[in-house]
Chains A and B, each alone.
Chain A
């Protein structure tokens, strides 16, 4: 009896805390449907009617279709090459047990300590001088910044992939590329999922790097959002509709792959 009451109290605390946690999203959503004077009259209430005008204006001004596909292109291309090249490197470094390969791995791990702000000024200057401040340059930069953690994760996973698989394939006459792409890479797919999730979250949301690299023509959702919000300061009804639109793809992604996302994020942090 006493135990039950304790759990009831804990249950209520949990639910209240959960409600506090999602209240920012609730407030954003309900006010995004209101006319400006209703936001001032009562900010906590549900809207008196569902008015989609704010959404139409915000959708058009965000140029959402274009910024969405631009974000998608940059994210998918960067994640694909991070997975491809980091898994190859993780494999090669794990199978080659020399001092040199240990030193190379250490160099990648050490590079994770370097904050982005310490390299951004010479980086954008260099890429600008060779005309690479564009989407291709940006994707290449994401490979440079993203490969360290990915190689570290792939290298760790390789310790569980037996070398007898390589040896059997060599006897069957396979070359290194065939061994890797036909046998090893498929075995590493759980790590590839982790690497994909961590990098999608990071690159999709990244603001500073693309804002320094891309021209206004190729802007991503966060960059567009920054200008959009500046344009509608104090016009909260439009700003909130725009924010809701910008968040929607992430929420859909979260609810469609929640289990893998949580597992991937745990792996990335704990390993």
Chain B
């Protein structure tokens, strides 16, 4: 009996140790330090809610938060619509379906930092060249205004991640029993009816998974933000993750940056938990 206990602990000690030192201890310390004047090494006194009060008046932080919320909202919707459409396209009887699957998924394997640099070239040089050639003014000056920076980030994110969402939906689409579609065909159902009454309800768990993944990943984006717009022009496209990194490591305000990180954590946790709860409930209702 004791031997069994001992081997249990030997098997789990390495991961417990790493999780404790890398995640749990920093979370607890970070929460604690956000109420002090910590400078990254030592702290002298508690300042209570001082940092959090300052947060309320930090217009750059508020703007980053708003930008991130709108960005996450828009990209979750666009990503899921396009991801599901791509999945429907490549699960049809197209001859090119396997090649298309390969192509749509490819950007997903490459890091956001590198993809952001490629798209910087496309928005700045290629769009400008096409704008000059065709005379369409909307193609000029991309990434130099807050709006084009925003849509640039949405396009980059959708292009990078739609293939991933596609793969998730494919897994659920392939789980639909063939007999259901066949009997609907016999009953003379239209393609829309088949989608609305068979496909759509049966891939509902896929919505839980992909909404959850896209919401939290869009909210936490950093690399793409850094390489595509760098937060510019004038920090107008700076998202929360970048705002935290800048506060802590560029402006060297460790405790203040950490208070932002605590707020960020709470928002992400609320998002994730409510998303899972809501979708589980809806699946049962259907």
Contacts and interface: CB of A to CB of B under 8 A. Distances in A.
Chain B associates with chain A? yes
Interface of A: 7, 10-11, 13-15, 17-18, 21-22, 24-25, 27-28, 31, 39-40, 42-44, 81, 85-86, 88-89, 91-93, 96, 101, 104, 107-108, 111, 113-123, 125-126, 129, 140-141, 143-145, 147-148, 151, 175-177, 180, 201, 204-208, 212, 222, 225-226, 229, 236, 239-240, 243, 246-247, 250-251, 253-254, 258, 261-262, 265-266, 269-270
Nearest to A145: B22
B25 interface: yes
A10 B89 contact: yes
Contact of B268 (A108, A113, A129): A113
B26 A123 contact: yes
Given A115-B220, A144-B19, 11 more contacts: A21-B159, A22-B103, A113-B272, A114-B269, A115-B216, A117-B244, A117-B261, A141-B18, A147-B15, A147-B19, A225-B114
B113 A205 contact: yes
Contacts of B220: 115-117
A201 B109 contact: yes
Interface stretch (B71-79, B136-144, B163-171): B163-171
A111 B24 contact: yes
B214 to A, nearest CB: 11
A151 to B, nearest CB: 6
Contact of B117 (A108, A204, A239, A258): A239
Given A43-B129, A145-B22, A250-B109, A114 B265 contact: yes
Nearest to B30: A122
Contacts of B262: 118
Given A119-B27, A208-B222, A229-B227, A125 B14 contact: no
A interface majority secondary structure: helix
A240 to B, nearest CB: 6
B110 A247 contact: yes
A144 B18 contact: yes
A158 B149 CA distance: 47
Given A21-B104, A206-B111, A86 B121 contact: no
A200 to B, nearest CB: 9
Contacts of B112: 205, 207
A174 to B, nearest CB: 12
Contact of B11 (A31, A88, A111, A254): A88
Interface string B22-41: 11111101100100000011
Nearest to B168: A269
B14 A117 contact: no
Contacts of A15: 96, 100
